[in-house]
Structure 1
C-alpha cells in the first residue's frame, strides 16, 4: 500500500509540482540556474551574469492579459531611474521587447526585513536605528528623484549579505506630481492614504518608515491587534475597511507611548512619535527632516560623555576635594585634640600634685593648731584640775571600771558617774574654755584672710572616756558625749579603722603620736570629717605633747582631739580658677576620695556639689557616690581616663555631667608625723594583746613610680572639664568646616552656572538648526513617466 503523507508533506509536494523546471526564455548574457518563485504576473529566476559572474534575478512577465502595463512600466521606469542608489534594488537590464518581457535586477540573497523580524522578533535599539537610517537614506534618494514609494513595509526591504537594506517592489510608487491614489499595506499605511480619493504625498512614506521602526523596536506593527483585525475583516467592502482603519488609527493612543521598551531614549521616541502622527500637518514633511533629527541625536549622544564629564568631572573633583579636605580637617583636629589633651592631662596631674601638697600643708597647719591649743597654759591648768581633781578623778575611774566601751554606755554606775561628770565644776570650766576657743575658729574670716575652721574639740582620759566636748552649735544633754567611752575609735587608738565596741578596755592602748584619722560621717550633719588627735602627758602640772619634748615612757594621761569638716579645708572651698566652689558650671574642681580598700573605696567624701545641695536643703544622708574600681586603678596608675563624675547623678542639670580629664594624687602626712606614725605602727605590731592588723607603711594607693611614704586615707582628684580643653579645637573645626562648606558651595554654584550657560548656548544652536531644517525647500524636479514600447 502507498504510504500516506502528512499535510505539511502534501503542501511541500504541491509547491514542488508547481515549480517550473525550465525557464520561459533565454536571457542574453545571463545563465539561468534555478527557479526562485512565481507571482500574479510571471516567474522569477536566479541566474548569473556570464561576463561578470555576478548573481542576478530575472523577472519574466508571462501573463500579458492580466497585466496593467502602465503600472508595470512605471515600476520598471522608477527602478531604472533609482538604480544608481545603493539602497535601492538595482535594475541591470530591461528586455521589454522580448517574449515574454523581462527585466534583470541584482540578486539580494539575504532575504527581506520581514523574514528577519519574523525570525528574530524585536531588534536592539542601536541595530534598529541604524537600519532605519539606511532605509531613510534610500527613501530620501527616491524622493529626491521625484519618486514616492507608497508601499514601504518590511517585506519590501531586502537585506544584502552585509545586512544593508535595499528598497524593492515599486509597484505602487508614484511620481511626486502624480495625483493617482496608491494603496499601501495596513498598519504601515498612513491614515490619510487609506482613501481611494487621496493624492500621493511624501508624508505617506514618512509614516511607513516610522511604522517599520516601531516594528523593529516592538516586534509588531503599530496599532496592530486582533480586535482591530476582526473589525477590518467584518467591515465588508474595501472603502468600508479603509474607513474603519482610519477611525481606529485616529482614536488610538499615540503609538510611541505604547512602545513597551525602556531602553529607547527620549529623542528617538520623539522621532518615532512625529513619524507616526495621525495628522499629516504634525508629521515630518519629508525624510530629510528625520535624518536631520537623527543626526542631531547622534551629535547629542556623542556629546553626552563630554557633557557628563563636564558636569560630573567637576563634581567628582569637588567630592575628592571635600573628602581630602574633611580628612585633613579631621586629622588636624585629632592631632590638636591629642596634643591639647596630653598637655591638659599633664597640667591636671601637676594640679593634682599641687592640690595634694596644699592639702598636706593645711593638715600640717591643723596639726600645729592642735599642738598649740593643747599647750596653752589655761588649758593645761584646767585639764590637770579635771584629771587629778579629788572629786573628778574617782568619777572617771568609775566609768573606766567597765569591761568594754559598750558596757560603759549601759552600766548604771557608769551612767550615774556620767551625770556627775556633766555637772562637775572642773568639766564645766574646761568646757567653757574650749567653747570660747572653738568660737574663735568658727567666726567668719576677715576679707583677704582665710581662717582655719574646726567642727568640734574634745578631750578623753587615758581610758578613752570623753571628759569634755564642745560643738559648733548646742546639742541636747542626751546627745552630749561627755562621760561616754570611745576607746575603740581611731582617734584614740591611732589605727586605720575603728575597733569593735565590745573590745576589752584594758586591751586598748591610746596612741602615742599625733594622728590624722580616716574620714567618717557625722551622725548629726552627715558631713564627712576627719579628726586630728594628739596624746597628752601631765608632768609637774604641765602638758607634754608628742614631738615637742621627750615624752614619758608610759601611756598618755589624755588625748586632745579636734575634728574638721572636709568641706572646711581651704583647698576644697575654691576651685582652681579662684571662683567659689558653688559655681554652677565649674571648669576645674578638686575632690576628696576615700582611699581605703573595701566597700567604701572610691567614695566621694567632699565635692563642690555637696555644698550646693546642702545649701539647697537637699539631704544626702543615705546616698553615697563612688568612683568605680577600674577607673580608680587607672587614675592611680597615672593613665589618661575619660572620667565621668559620679556626682553628676545626684541631681538633674547640676553642671557636672559630661566628660572630664582627671588626675589623682594620694595625700601624705607631714614628715615628722609620718615618722612618728611609723614608730607607732612598729610598736603596735608587737602588741599581741589587741591582736589586730596594724597599718602598713607601704600604701596600696600610692601612685606608680612615686616614692613610698606614710599616706593618709585621702586621695585628691582634680578634674578638668574636657569641653573646656577641646573648646578651641571645636571652634577651629567649626571655622574650618564653615570655610570649606562656603568654598564648596561657591565652586558648586559656579560650576552649575557655567553648565547652564553652556547648555543654553547648545540648546539655542539646536533650535536654530531645527528651524533651518524646517525651512521649506523647492519641490523636486518633475520627471516624465517612462513609456513602454
Structure 2
C-alpha cells in the first residue's frame, strides 16, 4: 500500500504492494508478521522466500538509504515492506514534506502489478478524499513514486486510541470515505480492500483513501474488470483480494465480478467499527475457526458465517446512534447484495440526508425553542399573576369575613349583655325587698317546716316572680325566657321552685356552682349540705345538666341578706343554655337530636357559640342541640384563650382568626364542625363569657377557589394547546423523512 503517513506492511501474498499502516502486520517495528486473517490470498512461494529472507536477524535493520530522488531530499525511513520502503522526504524547491516510496528487487518485480496502484492514484488525482500522487520515477534505481505526506496517521491509528468514536464524528468520516469512493467509482475504479488501515486522515481530520494496489477497474456499465485486472487475477489463481471482516461474502468467489457493492459493504463495516470498536461478525469463536482452517477453506467458512449469522446489532446499543444511521449501517452490511445500497453515491446521499435532517431538526428545535420559551414564560407569569391575585382575593375575602363576623359577634355580645343585665337587675330588685328577707328569716326560724311562715314566703315568691307553666317552660327554647325560679337556704337545700318539682325541692345542691360560685361542680356524694358557703354577690353559674329535664342550663343567683348583712338564702332564675342564642342562631332551630335536618346531613354555614373566657368551657353551641350523651368537657384550646386575653389586654375588644378549630369537632357528634373556620371572638360585658361567630373557611373562599380552578383549567387547556401545536410542528420539521 502506498502509505503516506506511516510504515508499509510486509509483502502481500499476491501483490508486491506493501500493506497500509494500521493493518495487521504493518511492519512498523521493522519486521513483518503475516496474519492469516488479514488476507484472503495464499502467498506464492516467491513471496514466502522473500519474507523468510527479510525475516533473518539483521536483514531488515540494514535497509540501505537510496539516492535522493531528483528534487527531493530523503530524511528518514517511515517504514518498510517486502518489496520496498517509504521515506519521509523534503522537496528541495519548497521545503514541503512528502512521502517517497521506493522499490527493491527490480528484476523480480511484476511491473503490471506495481504500476497498477500508480495508475489508480493518477486517475484519482482530482479528489481531496484520495491520497495525491505527486511524481513517479520508474527509470530510477530503485524506482519510486512520490505522494503527499499525512502525519496524522490512519483511521486505524485513531481507532486504536479513541474507539469507539462518537456517532456524529463516525458519520462525518463515513461520508468523507463515501465521497472518495464516489470519485473512484466515477473514475471506473473499485477499491476492493477498504478498511481503517487504508484510510488516512489529513490535518483537518478529512479521510483520504489509499492503497489501491488491490483496486479493480469496471467496464462500461457492466461491472466487468479490465484486461490488466484479469491478467493479475489469473496470476493469483482468480482469487479475489480483500480483508476478512471487511469484505462481503460474495467477494470470496473465484469467479466473482468486481462490484461497487463490495465497497459499499466495506464502508458499512468501517462505519460499524467506528461505532462499536470492532468490525462486524468478528468474534473470538469465528476467529479461532478461521485460524484452524486451511487457506483454501478459510474463505468459504468466512462467507458462510457472514451469510448465516444474525445481523450485527451492537451499534443498536450505542448512545446517540439514531434510526437513520442504524438503517444505513444495516443496509450496507446486508449479506444479500441485491438489498444493499447499489453504489457509494447512494450511501453518501443517505449519510448527507441524515446529516441534513439532523441539522434541520436542530434548527427546528432552536426555532421552536423561542416560541416555547415565550409561551412558557407567559404561562408562568400568568400562573403567578393568577396565584397572587387569588391570594390577594383570599386575604380580602377572609378580612371581610372577619369584619362581618366581628360585627355580628359584637351585636350578639351586646344583646346578651343586655339580657343578662336585665335578668340580673330584675333578680337583684326582687332580693333587695326587705320583706323577702324577713319572710325568709321567718321560714328559716321555723326550720323550713310546713306552716304559716313557709306558706307566706312561697305565696310572696309566687307574686314577685313570673309564673312559669309547663307550656311556658317548653317555649323557652324559642328565646331567653326563664326556665325556672328557685330558692335555696344558706345550707344549699332547695326550698321552693317554680314550677314545682319534687325531685328538686327539699334536696341539697350545695355542690352546684350556682350555690358556692367556686367555678366548679363538686361531687354530690361527698359534698355535705352546709359544707360550703353561699355566694355573697350575684353570680352567673357554670352550665349544668338539669336533674329534672336533662337539659343543659345555667342559673343566675343573688344572695338574700338579713339585717346584719348575713346571707340567709339564695334566689335563682335559670335559662336553657342553648336558648340563649336561639334568636340569633337559626341553625339551632333546625337541628334534631340526631343532628340532621330535613333528612339531610346538616351543613353549617355560620355558627354562633358561647364560651366561658377563663376556663374556655363551652356554654352554648349548635352541637348542644344534638344532646350528645357525653359528660366530656368541651373547651377552647389554651392558645386561643391566651390570644383572646392578649387582644382584650391590648384594647382591641375582639380576637379574630381564619384558622379556628371548633373544639366540638373532636367530641361525639361533632363531625359537622370539623375543618378550619373564620371566627371572631367578642367578650360579653358584665360576664366571663365570649361570643364566637364563625363560618367555614372553605365556604367563604369557595367562589374564589372555583374561579381559580376555572382559570387553572383554562391555563391547562392553553398549555395543552401550545404543547400540542409546538409538538406537532416539531414532529413535522424533525420527522425522519427517510423512514417515511
Q: TM-score, normalised by structure 2?
A: 0.76
- Equivalents in 2 of 1:161, 1:278: separation in Å? 35
| 560-569 or 281-290, which deviates more | 560-569
Measured in 2, the distance between the counterparts of 1:342 and 1:585 equals 23
Partner residue in 2 for 1:607: 621
Q: Report the equivalent of 1:454.
A: 482
Instruction: For 2:513 and 2:61, locate their aligned partners in 1 and report how far apart those are by CA, in whole Å.
Output: 134
- Asked if residue 562 in structure 1 is aligned to residue 573 in structure 2, the reply is yes
Q: CA 1:666 to 1:362, structure 2 compared with 1: closer, same or farther past 3 Å?
A: same
Q: How does 1:71-470 map to 2 (within 5 A)?
A: 71-96=113-138, 101-118=143-160, 120-160=162-202, 163-177=205-219, 178-179=224-225, 180=230, 182-238=240-296, 240-257=297-314, 261-367=318-424, 370=427, 393=442, 396-397=444-445, 399=447, 418=449, 420=450, 437-439=467-469, 442=472, 453-459=481-487, 466-470=494-498
Q: Judging changes above 3 Å, is the alpha-carbon distance between structure 1 residues 756 and 653 closer, same or farther for their aligned structure 2 residues?
A: farther
Pick one of 596, 599, 610 that aligns with 1:592.
610
1:682 match: none
- The CA deviation at 1:261 is 3.2
**Once the two structures are superposed, what CA deviation does each residue of 1:214-264 show, in whole Å capped at 9, x if it has no partner?**
3333333222233222222232242x2111110111122323535763243
**Aligned counterpart for 1:531 among listed residues 552, 555, 560:** 555
SS at match of 2:672: coil
What residue is the counterpart of 1:630 in the other structure? 639
Q: Is 1:647 aligned to 2:694, yes or no?
A: no
Separation of aligned partners in 2, 1:82 and 1:451: 116
8 Å contact 2:608–2:694 — kept in the other structure? yes
Deviation at 1:193, TM superposition (A): 0.7
Confirm or deny: 8 A CA contact 1:458 1:468 kept in the other structure: yes
CA distance in structure 2 between the partners assigned to 1:422 and 1:206 by the alignment: 136
* Inter-CA distance 322–494: structure 2 relative to 1 (3 Å threshold): same
Residues 358, 176 of structure 1: alpha-carbon distance in 2 compared, 3 angstrom cutoff? same
Could you say which residue in structure 1 is the equivalent of 2:64?
21
Find 1:716's aligned residue among 685, 691, 702: 691
Distance 1:424 1:211, change over 3 A: closer
Structure 1 unaligned residues grouped into runs of 5+ = 1-7, 400-416, 539-551, 669-710, 769-789
Once the two structures are overlaid, the 10-residue window that deviates more, 65-74 or 281-290, is 65-74
Whole-Å separation in 2 of the counterparts to 1:362 and 1:320: 62
Conservation of the 8 A alpha-carbon contact between 1:457 and 1:469: yes
Task: Please identify the structure whose Cα radius of gyration is greater.
Answer: 1
Equivalent residue of 1:651, what SS? coil
Where in structure 2 are there 5+ consecutive unaligned residues? 1-28, 32-53, 231-237, 648-653
For residue 309 of structure 1, report the CA deviation from its aligned partner.
2.8
| 2:705 matched residue in structure 1 | 730
Aligned residues: 655
Cα drift, residue 602 of structure 1: 0.8
The CA distance in 2 between the partners of 1:190 and 1:40, in whole Å, is 28
Task: Give the whole-Å Cα distance in 1 for the aligned partners of 2:59 and 2:105.
Answer: 21
Give the TM-score normalised by structure 1: 0.71
Q: CA deviation at 1:195?
A: 1.2
Distance (Å, rounded) in 2 between the aligned partners of 1:450 and 1:259: 85
TM-align CA RMSD: 4.3
* 1:283-342, Cα deviation, whole Å (9 max, x unpaired): 221111222222222222222332223455444433333322222222112211112212
CA distance in 2, matches of 1:291, 1:74: 27
Secondary structure (helix, strand or coil) at the match of 1:719 reads strand
The change in CA–CA distance for 1:154 and 1:126 in structure 2 (over 3 A counts) is same
Cα gap change, 1:214/1:15 in structure 2, threshold over 3 Å: closer, same or farther? farther
